[in-house]
Structure 1
Amino acid sequence: MDLLGESVVPANAIDTKRRAQSFAREHVKPAAGEYFESGEYPMDVIEAAREKGLVAQEISKEYGGAGRSVGEAVATAEEFFRADAGIGLALMGQSFGTGILEQFGTEKQKDTYLRPIAAGEMITGMAISEPETGSDLAGMETSATKEGSEWVLNGEKYWIGNGVEADWILVYVCTEETDDRHDNHSLFIVPTDSDGYDAEHIPKKIGMHASKQSHITFENCRVPQENLVGERGEGFRMVAEFFNHGRTRVAAQGIGLAAAAIEEAWAFVHDREEFGRSVSDFQSVRHDLADMRTQFESARTLLWHAVERLESDEDAAEWAAMAKLNATETAADCAQTAIRLHGGWGVLDESRIGRIYRDVRMPMVYEGVSEIQRDIVYENFA
């Protein structure tokens, strides 16, 4: 059973999708249970993906990357997350934030920081959320103060992917004191070996154990003026634009998880008997599967429409928000139904559907909770 067919995938993304699917079946899915149990960072899988050209693939050829499209990144995310969400997030997060740097950074910044990521020599991350502020992008309080030719950072960031593992982090901070809360944030490249930078892993999460999120503190952490990315005070707008791409990728993560939940449910009810007949013979079970499939196909169609909007440079904010909202909530609904169909077997630690059930909760939160996506859709209703 292959729900992630190629019918909606653009022709230029099909080859990448097939390579991602093959890699996920060979390297990701077999290792999923082990890494979920251990919580270790899947460096061996990451190295294998680098060899196959499936890491940091969106960086342009000009800076040593593959220059792959939004559609190719989405197709890859679908396949990785169908195989395992924790390892999938670790793989996709190797180049988190490079899109902003490539679009708004100086040539020197791109040569210095993008090329090593594309070459697999460095890992990066992006620090936006804070302990007391998650979805309010304009309310982040970590600050950067100008002192001569340097900026001095103070504050905290939370839920930051690769905060410990990364070589440098793109950090979103408050730099201005203005009445307009959308004009007072900026972005800085912060090497993780900088004095005043400290990061520790967040304790074990409900799901996605193979991915690592961190708590970062900045205490008089100094970076040079040349590490400012883009224009001072334009951070909010840069990040908001970036989120259109990011939310589309998160939608793809939800689609991959939904596909995994449906496949697990299908296999279980067709292999199990109750009351002298296959569980799949019961009409209520068939209707459950039909509803899951219908939700899934609807969400996937919306996702690929959002991809089409992004690739044609149309305003895609509402479409990315709808795609993320629909796909992640569909994944949660499908996992809920699938674990119910599994009965007692679904709650065992070693069951794949149990891992999926826990993993689906996380994409509903990062890059904006569902309520934020609904706000964006409403604001773009005209």
Structure 2
Amino acid sequence: MSTQTMIISMDLLSEKLVPEHAHEVKEEAREFAAEHIEPVAGEYYASGEYPWDVLEAATEAGLVAQDIGEEWGGSGYDLQQMLAMAEELYKADAGIALTIQLASFGAEIVEDHGADWQKEEFLKPVAAGDQLTGLAVSEPETGSDLAGMTTAAEKDGDEWVINGEKYWIGNGVEADWVTLYAKTGDDPNDRYGNYSMFIVPTDADGYHAEHIPEKMGFRASKQAHIVLDDCRIPEENLVGVEGAGFYMLAEFFNHGRVVVGGHGLGLAAAAIEEAWEFVHDREAFGKTVDEFQAVQHKLADMQLSLQSARTLTWHAAERVANQENSGYWAALAKTNATEAAMDCAEKGMQLHGGRSVLTENRISRVYRDVRIPVIYEGANDIQRNLIYKQAPM
């Protein structure tokens, strides 16, 4: 890596916008990514295998499940600390970073709304690195329409019986339990009050999961297709109160979308680093490629995309943390940052020319990865609906 690349890599995701209390975790994530993720990222991308060894190292480094509160064994990282971690890990590799993040995905819902015994039994093993969890919301026929899900839970004595399917569920195979969103009512006048959240152990009778076939990006992260066939769980596995599931998710996704903004920022920074190094080290027509004004303008535009998105995302993190029109700011951050990543990856491909299509080159991996965050945690078209409806006008 050239001196110029090393300089820009430090500045692109600098600490200037980051609150002081998040500096330490940001530096820890940066060092971990350099030591444990970057050296194996290409290998895991090619194989598509689950990165158990990196996840174990991340657990030992204190970077897994640390959003869980100290009372339950975690470090109680807040939204800004999770964002600081995300942008550093995703710059190194999106698939491995998502695996690390998904190790405790959905646990926040149990911590915020569950009973103390649920937190004791389910959160502590996740915080200790002894168990993995997941969040089961999306279905084969719908992802963004939370009031259109059909997986249903019905009461039968002292049990809930769940039937339906879930799709795109991170750790659906690997997890020890999932927080699952299911329909428990049928009131046409209250679509949003018909859903509840449940803790579903993956060894429960009637729970069947298999990996979704390989994806074009995020290959080191595994998603599952889950079939629930008369899956029985104890009635006390209901999280919070019946009918509150939609509102729990809405709150959860406001935080999650800001962190997904960090996914986009990390990927955008990776694209800029790759393009910067390539054009400074390559010659054409008797000079290095970076001396052409058209190339300089592309690199300038990439930095405009990243830095404007990063400013908005960190501002949004503060607004959401303070519960100031959270849905609006979360949607802005998620949409802007993930689309900045797409813009930077596209320009990075152009600057690499014919070599951009070689799978051995990191830019081609980044280019495929950036297509995915614009879809998950609510597709960006849905985010635009939220921005319009919740605009402070």
Would the TM-score normalized by the shorter structure come out above 0.5?
Answer: yes
TM-superposed deviation, 1:230: 1.1
SS of residue in 2 equivalent to 1:220: strand
Task: Indicate the residue corresponding to 1:305 in structure 2.
Answer: 315
- 2:74 and 2:320 map into 1 onto residues whose CA distance is 20
- 1:70 and 1:272 map into 2 onto residues whose CA distance is 41
TM-superposed deviation, 1:267: 0.5
Letter in 2 for 1:271: D
Task: Indicate the residue corresponding to 1:6 in structure 2.
Answer: 15
Report whether the alignment pairs 1:265 with 2:262: no
Report whether the alignment pairs 1:24 with 2:33: yes
- 2:204 and 2:173 map into 1 onto residues whose CA distance is 13
Letter in 1 for 2:84: A
Task: Indicate the residue corresponding to 1:132 in structure 2.
Answer: 141
Task: Indicate the residue corresponding to 1:347 in structure 2.
Answer: 357
Task: Indicate the residue corresponding to 1:96 in structure 2.
Answer: 105
Task: Indicate the residue corresponding to 1:357 in structure 2.
Answer: 367
- 2:317 and 2:144 map into 1 onto residues whose CA distance is 23
Matches within 5 A, 1:1-382: 1=8, 2=10, 3-179=12-188, 180-381=190-391, 382=393
5+ residue gaps, structure 2, are 1-7
- 2:249 and 2:57 map into 1 onto residues whose CA distance is 30
- 1:174 and 1:223 map into 2 onto residues whose CA distance is 15
- 1:74 and 1:31 map into 2 onto residues whose CA distance is 23
Task: Indicate the residue corresponding to 2:4 in structure 1.
Answer: none
SS of residue in 2 equivalent to 1:241: helix
- 2:91 and 2:76 map into 1 onto residues whose CA distance is 24
Letter in 1 for 2:97: G
SS of residue in 2 equivalent to 1:288: helix
- 1:161 and 1:176 map into 2 onto residues whose CA distance is 26
- 1:221 and 1:99 map into 2 onto residues whose CA distance is 24
- 1:118 and 1:313 map into 2 onto residues whose CA distance is 26
Letter in 2 for 1:235: G
Letter in 2 for 1:231: V
SS of residue in 1 equivalent to 2:191: coil
Q: Share of identical aligned residues, percent?
A: 58
User: When the two structures are aligned, how many residues end up with a matched partner?
Assistant: 382
SS of residue in 1 equivalent to 2:214: coil
TM-superposed deviation, 1:310: 2.2
- 2:147 and 2:275 map into 1 onto residues whose CA distance is 41
- 1:313 and 1:97 map into 2 onto residues whose CA distance is 20
SS of residue in 2 equivalent to 1:96: coil
TM-superposed deviation, 1:380: 0.7
- 1:232 and 1:33 map into 2 onto residues whose CA distance is 45
Letter in 1 for 2:43: E
- 2:274 and 2:350 map into 1 onto residues whose CA distance is 12
SS of residue in 2 equivalent to 1:367: coil
Letter in 2 for 1:239: L
Letter in 1 for 2:213: P
SS of residue in 2 equivalent to 1:137: coil
TM-superposed deviation, 1:345: 1.0
- 1:269 and 1:351 map into 2 onto residues whose CA distance is 14
TM-superposed deviation, 1:231: 1.1
Out of 306-315 and 86-95, give the one that drifted further: 306-315
- 2:112 and 2:65 map into 1 onto residues whose CA distance is 15
- 1:67 and 1:236 map into 2 onto residues whose CA distance is 24
TM-superposed deviation, 1:264: 0.5
5+ residue gaps, structure 1, are none
- 1:72 and 1:223 map into 2 onto residues whose CA distance is 35
| TM-score normalised by L of structure 1 | 0.99
Residue deviations 1:49-88 (CA, integer Å, cap 9, x gap): 1111000011110001011111111010000000000000
SS of residue in 2 equivalent to 1:138: coil
